[in-house]
Structure 1
Amino acid sequence: MSNIINTLGAGSGIDTTALVSQLVEVERAPQEARLNSREQKLDAQISAYGTLKSALSEFQSLMSPLADNNTFNARSVALPETDVITPNSLAAGAQVGTYQIEVVDIARSQSLAMGSTDDKKAALGASGQMSIQFGEWSYTGVDADIPDNFTINDERAALNIDIDPSDTLETIAKKINDSDSGVQASVLGVDGQYQLMLTAPSGASNAMQITGDDPSLSAFEFNSTNYASVTETQQASDAVLKVNGLSVRRDTNQINDVIEGFDFTLNKSSEGEKLTFAVEADTGVAQQAIRDFVEGYNSLYQTMQNLTGYTRDEDNNLVRGSLSTDGLARSMFSQLRGLIGAEVVGVDSGFTALTNLGIRTQLDGTLEIEEDTFSKAFTENYEFIETLFARDTRSGSNYVDVRLGSYASKTVPGDYEVEITQDPSRGSIGGNAISALNFDAVTDSFTTALDTSVGDYSFKISVDGVQSDTITLSGSYASAEEIRAELQSLINGDSKISEAGAGVDVTYDAATDSFAFNSRTYGKSSSVSFSSASADMANLGISSALSGTAGKDVKGTINGEPGFGTGRVLLPPLGSDAYGMTLNVRPGAASEGVFTASFSQGFAGTMDKLINSILGAEGAIASRETTITDQLEDVSYERSELDRKMSSYEERLTLQYLNMQKIVDSLNSTGSSLDGILDRLPFTAKD
């Protein structure tokens, strides 16, 4: 018994601590291996999706030039070295051709110096309203320097500046500069005297006529009856140039509308010197963009193949991609490959698929350009290449332009039947016939000039709900046309109307001898009315009793559904397939009946939309990454639970072995007390 006790006791040599640790490790190992394997796989997927996002993003950047119509309308120009003109820009789509330019004269701005004083900061004591009108002067005199007759430019609003007695030359200059009228004002000091210098926009029709409604402003007036106090340092003139032999006049030296898309500046006149150059289509930009796309796709294809398929390592062992078992990744790969070989939705003629351009899919899945077909397409069918890759909108109406709004990504490509049922219109008001006694209806002129400074020719007009200040005619007019131009200039120059962005076009109808006032905006908020008019204005057919007609919003349907019309713009119903398109409608569209509006995203737009659906904040990859992250959190939670269970298991084993140790200690103690007991028993024989 003593030997048994010794075997079970502390003297047995059993390391209970090590034994507990080993038992716990045996219990933990398979579960921890499972968690480690799962965590490693999820981490690999996260990393793989990061690689995939980077590859897709890089590939998507190659879609931008292909989705841009300008890529397929690139132009080049070879201009001879010259200081006569300076090229500023050549826009995509510029008119191709050979051109010859001769600069006969350059445009100049009228400059006026006035208001001489020896202290530029001293109050001038002048008050009233200074009116600056724009137009063209004719001159008389030996040196053609006396302003004789002024023709108003009705396209430029008059500028009215209120002058206070406390104003100085500097404050007047600031008021003019702050008006944003195009007139530049400055104060110049010469020989101890200061003058206000006004410089008009360049061009013969942008010269200034200055009048004041108070005698204190006479020093600033420049008109046919009062100009002596003002020095005209430079007369206004137009730029004159010849383009391919045709004479062209412009009011500026910045020329951007003679050769479409070519912007250049005239530096000096050089009559007799002819510059010859050519604007040509630059197809190389599009070719390189397409080659970059093919190369980029092949790189993306290889990346996705490695991630979702199988490859071989250096030892020729088969290696499975981190996303080979990920159904979402394989589905995205399939969508991309499917789009490469599919026809572009919305393109009904010409090139409808990449294969038409000579882009072929090889046996290994990558793309290759068949050079002969590719070259022939650029030579013979270049216009088809643009519609294949870039967005394209078409309208079957001469009165409707189809454009894309900010929600174009939601528009479903295809053809849509459109019918305009109500043309847009502008608010207007028509005057009565001119009844002035000296008006000749046959010649539409006055037998003697109408002097509006005699009497009261004033009125207030409301345009699009904005009421003007009192507007007054104060000049002398020889014809109805002169009054028409003056009315349009003064109304559009009214501070309240101009600040609100409103305006009118004033017309004269020779058949009825009357003026008409048309708002420059379309829609139901467009209106024109006279809130007051003096008795003398009735001689010109204008009175507050006139009744105007409000404008109308465009109305129409897209695929039979009513659209939303505001002004000239018709929008498809919210949520419809056409939503994202914008129809800009001109009067006359309602007479055409049903027509077709078409839209195509193009290959690049379609590919870009697909990649956006994958890479977007709420896209497929973001959703998958969220799922993987949640799974990693689950692994972390399970690992914590495992630690808790193993800790509990370790405590239980330790307690069990502790109890066992107590039993062994007790047995050891009992064994010691039994030692020699036989010798002490009575009647025990001894050897």
Structure 2
Amino acid sequence: MRIGGLASGIDTDNIIKELMNAERIPLNKLEQQKTKMEWQRDAFRDVNKQIFELERLIENRRLNIGGSTVNPKIVSSSNESAITASGSSSAGNGAYRISVEQLASREMHVIDLSGQDFTIPTGEFIFMTYDEASKENDFQAGMYEKSITIEEGDTLQTIAKKISDADKNVQAFYDEKSETFVIETTRSGIHNLNENEDEIVFSGGNDDFFTQLFSAGTYEKVDAKNAKFTYNDVVELESNENKYTLNGITFNFHDVTKDENVTLTVAHDTDKAVENIKEIVDKFNELVETLNDLQNEPVYRDFPPLTKEQMEEMSEKEIELWEEKAKSGLLRRDPILSSSLTNYRSVWSSSMSEAGPISLLADIGITTTENYLDGGKLEIDEEKLRKQLEENGENVNSLLFGTGEGTSRGLFTRLEDSLQNTINQIDKRAGKGSSTSQSYTMGRQLESIEDRIKAFEDRLKQVEDRYWRQFTAMERAISMMNNQSAMLMSFGGNM
């Protein structure tokens, strides 16, 4: 704590404060430079996030994640309560007749223990289920043993959990209200194809837990069944699930049809295809608008970032309005964004050599808008696009999503490549949220500014200490002079 001006009467504290405010001007500029660069970094990252969303959308559509993009199929059923279906892009258009004689079901072992005093034995007990062959785990298809260990204090509920945990193909539970213990397969249908073999085989023996459990109450076994159905009145098929994929169509069985055919009609879903393509175009137009706005934002040089002291003197609304102008133009005329826009536009004017009768985006009704102020946005002639999808669906898919090289590469795939290139450039310059400062250009620059700020703050502390030493020396000199003057006055008064 420093107190000045005792001898001189000078407001030392305020004078030094004003002197330090002048000394801090270069530091304020450094802090404003740092703040502005942080804003630029965050603006770049926001752009990258938007570019990534478009790039991921195109990738998903190219890989047909969630269904075919250009050639989706719609399947209608004459009896949706019994059979529904979905079709892949390879499904042939037309009508298919299906009749379901039997649904797939699970094997179940149900024991009614109501009124029974069942004593739970302890020890290790074995049951077996069928497992498919697995190269990863190096075993062949067949029945494999699973064991549970029952200990003192175990209840029927804890034993049921142990059974469920011991084998992914089996689940068990005990319902206290009905006093019913159930062991069943987790999958429907017959997987163990050996004759007269069950899906779950218990070890047996008078001292076996399962033997005692089954004999303690009323026991009922329900055998597993495969789904049985007839395809187009001729082909009889079975499935251990209540679904079956045939010719690119996945049939889902919900009920038997009582010897009646259900007709399922497969057709090209043009509406969905147009919607998928429009989603990409709309997302691209949003990106173009964002980049154009950022490129052309005005720069307000009279509105630098506010210092902490300035913020303390302003209201929240005033700060918001100030920073709105201060953040304007952060990415104006940025070379990464401007070159990226140019690359995106060049994609639309290029051709694709392996798309049959169509080779340009304009051939399917997608063109850039006539208004140059739109900066390269796309517009769709839906009627033309629908016609090409219906007549040349595979060619449209090649034009947009072809994965070849050079001119054999689809136009949306080329855009995806350009987007990824922009993402990489921005990452090198502005990094990601998880990036270390040394891994990207602006991070290294910010660290350098931070080092300069710390060094300047150390120097300011030294300057402030020097000012206080100087003013303190002055106060001592004035105090000595005052003392000498008082002594002389006192000496003169005594003469």
* Interval containing the TM-score (normalised by the shorter chain): 0.5 to 0.7
Q: Return closer, same or farther for 1:653/1:162 CA change in 2, 3 Å cut-off.
A: closer
Aligned to 1:157: 142
**Alpha-carbon contact 1:56-1:300 (below 8 Å) kept:** no
Aligned to 1:635: 453
**Alpha-carbon contact 2:104-2:224 (below 8 Å) kept:** yes
Q: Return closer, same or farther for 1:283/1:259 CA change in 2, 3 Å cut-off.
A: same
* Cα-to-partner distance string for 1:498-518 (whole Å, 9 max, x where unaligned): xxxxxxxxxxxxxxxxxxxxx
Q: 1:367 aligns with which of 376, 394, 403?
A: 376
SS in 2 for 1:39: helix
SS in 2 for 1:268: coil
1:202 counterpart = 2:189: yes
Q: 1:58 aligns with which of 28, 46, 50?
A: 50
Q: How many residues align?
A: 412
Aligned to 2:423: 611
Aligned to 1:323: 330
Gaps spanning 5+ residues in structure 2: where? 1-6, 132-139, 150-155, 211-218, 304-320
CA distance in 1: counterparts of 2:220 and 2:89, whole angstroms: 43
| Alignment map for 1:192-591 (pairs within 5 Å) | 202-203=189-190, 206=193, 208-209=196-197, 238-281=226-269, 282-305=272-295, 321=328, 323=330, 330-343=334-347, 349-350=354-355, 358-360=366-368, 363-364=372-373, 366-372=375-381, 375=385, 378=389, 382-383=393-394, 386=397, 392=403
CA distance in 1: counterparts of 2:53 and 2:482, whole angstroms: 78
CA distance in 1: counterparts of 2:13 and 2:181, whole angstroms: 104
Q: 1:647 aligns with which of 465, 471, 480?
A: 465
Give the number of the structure whose alpha-carbon radius of gyration is greater.
1
* Cα-to-partner distance string for 1:338-393 (whole Å, 9 max, x where unaligned): 43134599x8744999788735386447332243498376566654665566583x
* Cα-to-partner distance string for 1:174-222 (whole Å, 9 max, x where unaligned): 999777595788999xxx9x999888952598463379999999xx9xx
CA distance in 2: counterparts of 1:319 and 1:212, whole angstroms: 76
* Cα-to-partner distance string for 1:648-681 (whole Å, 9 max, x where unaligned): 1243144246426645775787689789x9xxxx
Q: Return closer, same or farther for 1:672/1:216 CA change in 2, 3 Å cut-off.
A: closer
Q: CA deviation at 1:255?
A: 1.4
Q: Return closer, same or farther for 1:109/1:262 CA change in 2, 3 Å cut-off.
A: closer
CA distance in 1: counterparts of 2:146 and 2:457, whole angstroms: 80
* Cα-to-partner distance string for 1:605-661 (whole Å, 9 max, x where unaligned): 551464255343348995414532541452244134224303312431442464266
CA distance in 1: counterparts of 2:202 and 2:486, whole angstroms: 128
RCO greater where, 1 or 2, for CA within 8 Å and sep 6 or more?
2
Gaps spanning 5+ residues in structure 1: where? 1-13, 135-154, 165-169, 221-230, 395-412, 416-597, 678-687
* Cα-to-partner distance string for 1:269-312 (whole Å, 9 max, x where unaligned): 33124333334332034223223322321342145325696799
CA distance in 1: counterparts of 2:11 and 2:148, whole angstroms: 102
Q: Return closer, same or farther for 1:337/1:41 CA change in 2, 3 Å cut-off.
A: same
**Alpha-carbon contact 2:295-2:338 (below 8 Å) kept:** no
SS in 1 for 2:98: strand
Q: Return closer, same or farther for 1:77/1:623 CA change in 2, 3 Å cut-off.
A: farther
Q: CA deviation at 1:93?
A: 3.6
Q: Return closer, same or farther for 1:97/1:365 CA change in 2, 3 Å cut-off.
A: same
Q: Return closer, same or farther for 1:383/1:643 CA change in 2, 3 Å cut-off.
A: farther
Between Structure 1 and Structure 2, the one with more strand by share is: 1
CA distance in 1: counterparts of 2:488 and 2:281, whole angstroms: 95
1:659 counterpart = 2:472: no
CA distance in 2: counterparts of 1:213 and 1:204, whole angstroms: 19
Q: Return closer, same or farther for 1:129/1:66 CA change in 2, 3 Å cut-off.
A: closer
Aligned to 2:32: 40
Q: Return closer, same or farther for 1:97/1:120 CA change in 2, 3 Å cut-off.
A: farther
**Alpha-carbon contact 1:24-1:649 (below 8 Å) kept:** no
CA distance in 2: counterparts of 1:366 and 1:79, whole angstroms: 46
**Alpha-carbon contact 2:110-2:221 (below 8 Å) kept:** no
Which AA in structure 1 matches 2:97? I
**Alpha-carbon contact 1:70-1:93 (below 8 Å) kept:** no
TM-score under structure 1 length normalisation: 0.45
RMSD: 6.0
Which AA in structure 2 matches 1:35? L
Which AA in structure 2 matches 1:333? L
Which AA in structure 2 matches 1:70? N
Q: Return closer, same or farther for 1:157/1:205 CA change in 2, 3 Å cut-off.
A: closer
Q: 2:75 aligns with which of 65, 77, 80?
A: 77
Which AA in structure 1 matches 2:285? E
Which AA in structure 2 matches 1:336? S
Q: CA deviation at 1:43?
A: 1.3
CA distance in 2: counterparts of 1:306 and 1:120, whole angstroms: 82
CA distance in 2: counterparts of 1:101 and 1:29, whole angstroms: 88
Between Structure 1 and Structure 2, the one with more helix by share is: 2
* Cα-to-partner distance string for 1:409-448 (whole Å, 9 max, x where unaligned): xxxx789xxxxxxxxxxxxxxxxxxxxxxxxxxxxxxxxx
CA distance in 2: counterparts of 1:174 and 1:45, whole angstroms: 58
**Alpha-carbon contact 2:51-2:423 (below 8 Å) kept:** no
* Cα-to-partner distance string for 1:550-576 (whole Å, 9 max, x where unaligned): xxxxxxxxxxxxxxxxxxxxxxxxxxx
